[in-house]
Amino acid sequence: MEEVLLEWAKAIHKENPVVDAHFDLAAEVYHRRLSGERDVVQRRYLEHFAKAGLNVCVSSVFVPSGDLPEKGLHTAVAQIAALREDLEPIRDRIGIVSSREELNLALKEDRIAVLLSLEGLDPIGTDLYLLRAFYDLGVRGAGLTWSRPNPLARGCCKAGEMREIPGGLTELGREAIAKMEELGMYLDVSHLNNDGFEDVLTCTSRPFIASHSNAWRIHPNYRNLRDDQIKALAIRGGVIGLNACGTIAGAYVYPREQAVSRLCDQAEYLLSAAGEDHAGFGFDLCNGLSASTPRLTFETEEDDLLLHHGETLLLSAALLERGVKEETLIKLIGGNFLSYFQTVLA
């Protein structure tokens, strides 16, 4: 790749907002702090965030299936507490925000803003009052479910599988959406199955997102959205986030050039199908979480097509090389998701 393209990408990232709408940060921090690590974000991520010019990061709160149902609520709350504690020593550089005012202040003061989102409402069980409790803890977004069923909805199959899972939202799921909209929480449909997506269209009044989903047309995978779904999301004022998981994007981590090329394929298609105002980054980088999760074997998943956030520059440079206009790239790297969050946050 020509150095001039990389320098151009660096300048764009430095001068414009950069957003990652989905990163499993809270769960990783929780696991690492349980094992005795401290300053996880500072030691492992701040340098990469700075290289990417990252301004906003949405941290998911993800509860593994083994903790459900009994420990689901405990694990979710503990992850939020662990992340807050880990960020406290570096609050002048990065911190959790929960309102439009706090988000804009962080941008003004050149601090990275972290938004909290539940990756599935499994921790609340059937008690919708717990939505208010999580809202008071700073959670501002949620998906109804991960790739598994719960009392609210049925998730799509896991990324490595290929099967249609039928079944729409339950009545409680519809009530949960209404409660989220009342509170001012945004809805994330990544991981929701196709029937559930159709139901969402009938019971939402606010824009919703797919924070980390790709295009089915480029790579058939039930974690990805069909063209009609992408268009429906965009018409509602939502944003779809480019997922950098190889299984979902349809590529292998190596060779690196092919990995980045496939991400470019997905990005260009999302810009075309959704419109340049409705596509962004939601990388879903999971290598760190996989490496930190307790397991019985030493094998870990390494499926991230970007090895860290700093490699976002390689993606942007490759898109410029393909002829993506600078003003379009500015929207993709963060402008669209930032506009969305500034709209939906109280």
The model's pTM is 0.97
| pLDDT given for residue 2 in this prediction | 86
Q: What is the CATH number of the domain that holds 211?
A: 3.20.20.140
Start-to-end C-alpha separation, the chain: 42
Amino acid at 18: V
Report the distance separating Cα 102 and Cα 20, nearest Å. Answer: 18
Per-residue pLDDT of the chain (346 residues; tens, 9 = 90+): 689 999 999 999 999 999 999 999 999 999 999 999 999 999 999 999 999 999 999 999 999 999 999 999 999 999 999 999 999 999 999 999 999 999 999 999 999 999 999 999 999 999 999 999 999 999 999 999 999 999 999 999 999 899 999 999 999 999 999 999 999 999 999 999 999 999 999 999 999 999 999 999 999 999 999 999 999 999 999 999 999 999 999 999 999 999 999 999 999 999 999 999 999 999 999 999 999 988 655 555 689 999 999 999 999 999 999 999 999 999 999 999 999 999 999 9
- Reading the block at residue 108, the tokens are 């003004």
The H-or-E segment that residue 287 falls in is: helix 287-292
Going through the chain in order, the beta strands assigned E by DSSP cover 19-23, 56-61, 94-96, 112-119, 139-143, 186-188, 240-242, 279-281
* Calpha distance 11→18 (Å, rounded): 12
pLDDT at 170: 98
SS3 (DSSP) at 249: helix
- Asked if 159 and 214 touch (Cβ cutoff 8 Å), the reply is no
Helical H runs in 56-136? Answer: 72-87, 100-108, 129-136
CB–CB of 177/157 below 8 Å?
A: no
- Residues 105 and 91: their CA atoms lie apart, in Å, by 13
Q: From residue 145, how far is each of 29, 122, 148, 177 by CA, in Å?
A: 22, 7, 7, 12
Total number of domains constituting the chain: 1
pLDDT at residue number 301: 64
Please check whether residue 317 is in contact with residue 277, taking contact to mean a CB–CB distance below 8 angstroms.
Answer: no
Side-chain-side CA neighbours of residue 51 (13 Å)? 15
Instruction: Produce one character per residue of 6-41: b if its CB has 16 or more CB atoms within 10 Å, e if not.
Output: bebbbebbeebbbbbbbbbbbbbbbbbbeeeeeebb
DSSP string for 31-58:
HHHHTT---HHHHHTHHHHHHHT--EEE
Question: Could you tell me whether strands 112-119 and 240-242 are parallel, antiparallel, or unpaired per DSSP bridges?
Answer: unpaired
Q: For residue 302, what are the domain limits? A: 3-344
The vertex-162 CA angle with 160 and 166, nearest 5°, equals 120
| Strand-pair partners of 58 | 115
